[in-house]
Amino acid sequence: MKLENDLYLRASRGEEIERYPVWLMRQAGRILPEYRAVRASVSGFKELAETPELASEVTVQPVDLLGVDAAIIFSDILVIPDAMGLPYQMIEKKGPWFENTIKTDSDLSLIDKNIDVEDRLSYVLEAIALTKKKLNNRVPLIGFAGAPWTILCYMVEGSGSKTFSETRKLLYTNSRLAHELLQRITDVTIEYLKAQQKHGANALQLFDSWAGILGHDQYQEFGMKYITQIVDAIDGPLTVFAKGAYSSLPNLMDLSCTTIGLDWNMSVINARSLCGNTKTLQGNLDPCVLYGSHESIQSETFKMLKSFKSPRHIVNLGHGVYPDIHPENVKTFINTVKNYEI
């Protein structure tokens, strides 16, 4: 079935577009009162993410209420370690927490081998299929996963961290174990992303949230190596968003994916000069712009749009939308992009 609005997909492939497509990372969940109402009806984040009916409902909300050009499935990057045998809890106001972590070779026994990805992550795949029905071909649906380096960070550290020094320590003290885990995460992630496509995801995004804590050479060895495997295994529109990977931008441009996500500190002009017209760039308004007045949101958004020297752009923030942003401000951002003539 042809989508009514396939701007996101055409922009991904570098095809002609009438205007730039726009969506927001973290648009499902966080900011909408309608989301909070659904969230209040369950025990916590995990129950919501693991209940396909509800996960699909909150996935569609920003399409109905904000008018974005793509939906992204409501889920979390930590479903992968969970499926691999390391369950997490999402603790209110604190973030993710793992009872078991991987720090030594013997901890590897905690990880299940040869898992049936479609079975263990059936709740995400069902949510995708349900969302597709609810979207009724209005806009594309984006599936996603965490990049292996970021997933490793959580599996070793067991929670968020300012430095992820336990994980970085492992790179120096037991790099073989790090590579073993990264390879296992990569294999499961490839299966998972393909399953998301099979169940209806029109496009995919890989989030490497902690790319920026590694220097260039370590990011090549422990980050890019596995991202490359994933990108090479996947067909169709795929965005790699490696937050903070400033020194690896030239390497990211050599990946075989369609799209590179930029954080708000990355220069669009620099990124464009690195990739020419071979990549679609996604991003990258500072999410804090949305705290400002409607006039200032408009002028900052215009400033970004005017810096685009190619139609190969998907507009987004440079990070997930912050939870205390007013939905009206998000609408101002979205409408400014929609009314902008390329």
Give the footprint of its own copies on this chain (CB under 8 A).
160, 162-163, 165, 168-169, 171-173, 212-216, 218, 244, 246-247, 264-265, 267, 286-289, 291-293, 296, 300, 319, 322
The one catalytic residue among 39, 112, 138, 286: 39
Q: Which is nearer to its own copies, 264 or 308 (CB)?
A: 264
**311: its two tokens:** 């139609």
What is the number of other CB atoms lying within 10 angstroms of the CB of residue 137?
Answer: 14
- Compute CA distances 220 → 97, 149, 154, 224, 245, whole Å: 28, 11, 19, 5, 10
Q: Which is nearer to its own copies, 303 or 309 (CB)?
A: 303
Q: Is residue 30 among the annotated active site residues?
A: yes
The one catalytic residue among 19, 36, 64, 76: 76
Q: Is residue 168 among the annotated active site residues?
A: no
Backbone angles phi, psi at 193, to 5 degrees: -65, -40
**Min. distance of Cβ 265 from its own copies in angstroms?**
5
Closest CA to 221 of 270, 188, 172, 166: 172
The one catalytic residue among 30, 120, 168, 184: 30
Q: Which is nearer to its own copies, 41 or 265 (CB)?
A: 265
Q: Which is nearer to its own copies, 210 or 226 (CB)?
A: 210
**Min. distance of Cβ 81 from its own copies in angstroms?**
20
**Min. distance of Cβ 117 from its own copies in angstroms?**
30
Q: Is residue 10 among the annotated active site residues?
A: no
The one catalytic residue among 6, 8, 26, 88: 26
The one catalytic residue among 154, 192, 226, 340: 154
**Min. distance of Cβ 240 from its own copies in angstroms?**
19
**158: its two tokens:** 């067991």
CA-CA distance, 88 to 245, in Å (whole number)? 26
Q: Which is nearer to its own copies, 124 or 152 (CB)?
A: 152
Peptide bond into 284 cis (omega under 30): yes
Question: Which residues make Cβ contacts (< 8 Å) with residue 106, sequence separation at least 6?
Answer: none
Tokens 């959580």 correspond to what residue? Answer: 154
**Min. distance of Cβ 247 from its own copies in angstroms?**
6
- Compute CA distances 337 → 13, 26, 79, 334, whole Å: 19, 18, 33, 5
**Which amino acids are annotated catalytic?**
26, 30, 39, 76, 154
